[in-house]
Amino acid sequence: MANKVIEAHQITKHYGLIQAVDGVDLAVEAGEVFGLIGHNGAGKSTLFKMMLGLIPATSGEIRIDGTPVRGEEFRRVRRHLGYLPENVVFYDNLSGLETLAFFARLKGVDLGECAPLLERVGLTAAANRRVKGYSKGMRQRLGFAQALLGKPKLLFLDEPTTGLDPEGIREFYRILKEMRSEGATIILTSHILSEIQERVDRLAIMKTGKIQAIGTVQSLREKMALPLRFELRLAPGAEIELRQIVDTLEGAELSEDGERVTVHCQREAKMPVLQALAALNGRITDLHIREPSLEDVFLGYSG
Ligand SMILES: Nc1ncnc2c1ncn2[C@@H]1O[C@H](COP(=O)(O)OP(=O)(O)OP(=O)(O)O)[C@@H](O)[C@H]1O
């Protein structure tokens, strides 16, 4: 695959008067795990569908692996794409195995892949049960297995962990890691920011059809200059002294919430704050230094 697996230039999509996607430029590199986050209705699923060639863009150009999404040649590229839609629809009367075999035939994939894939997503025991009786999480696992058919080089996963239990979520990210080490490129959306902040290489924040920011979680944090937090528990009576210390420090502020006292400071003030706290000499009973979370970053850009 080309170095840039996805290239989107000035993509727009109108549904009548609704501008679902508005002038998006995006490039995803081969081998990346790329996250796309945004409020409900921000345009994430619409962008996915255009990148997969399922709906046409109103304007702009998308290339996948160097090939324009519109046109004959894209059929060849499409074989190497996997897609887990936001709402997967199955025939309820088929079993899990029959469902996967159905998708395998559609995709021209060897039927021998089906049983191992069901095992990979933890559905072997339910393989011969009708999908009608599957729980939400089981349907999601089946949808994921469907997306993995044919060992895709590029995976589009739209809210892939919806409905999964904590073990399912961990297992899902373990499989993604394997896919990535086998050379796949992955683009996924999620509303569970705590879950993806440690698991994506880069991400884009979308708001009302536009990309507001793009980069690594750390680079977005730094660009926003969000404060770090020192969360402290103190021995009785030490707050007054702490307040006096914090008052002398530039760019540092103090807040209290019950027993927890928090010092907020800009990144540059991190070491001076730490040094100043040393003056409290044994009267700090607990200390956590918190980086701004992806949720803080997200709210900063799209709130
Ligand atoms: N087929 C359609 N017809 C009309 N409007 C649509 C259609 N599909 C999407 N939209 C509108 O386009 C906008 C973007 O929707 P989209 O589903 O892409 O958002 P999203 O970011 O994926 O949201 P969510 O997080 O809720 O899944 C919304 O205003 C939505 O109502």
Instruction: Supply the residue whose CA is at minimum distance from atom 5 of ligand 1.
Output: 15
pLDDT in tens, 11-24: 999 999 999 999 99
Instruction: Supply the residue whose CA is at minimum distance from atom 10 of ligand 1.
Output: 20
Number of the ligand 1 atom closest to the C-alpha atom of 47:
18
Q: Do the bridges between strand 81-84 and strand 284-290 make them parallel or antiparallel, or are there none, so unpaired?
A: unpaired
Cα-to-chain-centroid distance, residue 201:
10
pLDDT at 257 > cutoff 60: yes
Range of the domain at 297: 226-302
Give mean pLDDT, residues 132-155.
Answer: 94
Residue 251 sits in the same domain as residue 279: yes
Q: Which residues partner with 83 through β-bridges?
A: 156
ipTM associated with this complex: 0.98
Residue 93 sits in the same domain as residue 200: yes
Residue 112 sits in the same domain as residue 41: yes
Instruction: Supply the residue whose CA is at minimum distance from atom 7 of ligand 1.
Output: 15
Give mean pLDDT, residues 125-143.
Answer: 95
**Structural domain tally of the chain?**
2
Higher model confidence: residue 146 or residue 71? Answer: 146
Domain limit, last residue, from 198, 221, 244:
221
pLDDT in tens, 174-233: 999 999 999 999 999 999 888 898 899 999 999 999 999 999 998 998 888 888 999 999
Which strands make up the sheet holding 202-207, listed edge to edge? Answer: 81-84, 154-158, 185-189, 33-38, 202-207, 210-215
Give Dmax (Cα) for the chain.
Answer: 75
Tell me, what CATH number does 95's domain have?
3.40.50.300
Domain limit, last residue, from 169, 193, 221:
221
Residue 232 sits in the same domain as residue 172: no
Q: Measure the CA–CA gap between 192 and 197, rounded to whole angstroms.
A: 9
Ligand 1: distance of its center to the CA of 83 in Å?
17
Number of the ligand 1 atom closest to the C-alpha atom of 46:
18
- pLDDT of res. 30: 95
- Is the shortest distance between the CB of 46 and ligand 1 below 6 Å? yes
Give mean pLDDT, residues 232-255.
Answer: 88
Q: Measure the CA–CA gap between 116 and 138, rounded to whole angstroms.
A: 16
Give mean pLDDT, residues 242-251.
Answer: 88
Whole-number average pLDDT of the chain? 92
